[in-house]
């Protein structure tokens, strides 16, 4: 029983972290255009691409991790979900460092 509770708690924590990345990306997509408008600028096509990419990536990776983990025992399933979260974090950091912030504004 304790093992089941631990597995469910770990799964809930990982899911909450995925949800956090999606909510943060939605916040960026909502607030960045408002900030750009206040400076008299707009969001470029590339900027919109990266904003939507930030929302879609965690959702797609989570769905793919659940699909890959389907039919496996709890341990490997949690590892696949955690690896997907690591992938999302790494890609988001790469986008943050490789995409110039000036390319968001047009």
Give the pLDDT confidence of 57-106 residue by residue, as tens digits: 999 999 999 999 999 999 999 999 999 999 999 999 999 999 998 888 87
Beta bridge partners of 84: none
Name the one residue in this structure whose structure tokens are 């096509």: 45
* Residue bearing the bigger pLDDT, 106 or 49: 49
Average pLDDT, the chain: 95
The predicted pLDDT at position 12 comes to 97
Token pair listed for 84? 């997907």
Q: How far is 12 from 23, CA to CA, in rounded Å?
A: 16
């Amino acid at each position: 029983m304790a093992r089941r509770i631990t597995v469910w708690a770990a799964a809930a924590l990982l899911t909450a972290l995925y949800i956090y990345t999606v909510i943060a990306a939605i916040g960026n997509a909502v607030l960045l255009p408002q900030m750009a408008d206040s400076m008299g600028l707009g969001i470029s096509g590339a900027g919109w691409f990266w904003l939507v990419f930030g929302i879609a990536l965690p959702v797609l990776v989570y769905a793919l991790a659940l699909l890959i983990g389907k039919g496996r025992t709890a341990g490997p399933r949690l590892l696949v979900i955690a690896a997907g979260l690591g992938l999302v974090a790494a890609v988001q950091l790469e986008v943050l460092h490789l995409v110039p912030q000036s390319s968001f504004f047009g």
